[in-house]
Amino acid sequence: MADTYLIEVRITLKKGMADAEGESVKKALHLLGYPIEHVETVKTYVLTVSASSEKKALTQVEGACKRLLANPVIQDYTLKVL
């Protein structure tokens, strides 16, 4: 019997990768009078997965990250069961 798991996928750029979107937002915030020192672009997905165990649910989401959700060349990702 399958259980349902909510799994959060957090995708960030790898260390050393330029974050053009983050820099653009930082500049815009400065122009609006907000002295923000750092902006990092982070993408988050929350997936609902049916699986017979938490380990199998995480394995499914890991596969989805490797094949579609994250670009392994420039991005890292973390998984968290909610």
Tens place of pLDDT per residue across the chain (82 aa): 789 999 999 999 999 999 999 999 999 999 999 999 999 999 999 999 999 999 999 999 999 999 999 999 999 999 999 9
The total domain count for the chain is 1
Q: How far apart are CA 82 and CA 70, in angstroms?
A: 20
Q: Smallest Cα–Cα separation from 62: which of 43, 40, 47? A: 47
pLDDT number for residue 2: 87
- Report DSSP state, residue 61: H
pLDDT number for residue 1: 77
Q: Please report which helix (H) or strand (E) contains residue 43, including its range.
A: strand 42-51
3-state helix, strand, coil in the chain (%, to 5): 35, 35, 30
CATH number for the domain spanning 16: value is 3.30.1280.10
Q: Which domain holds residue 72?
A: 3-81
pLDDT number for residue 82: 96
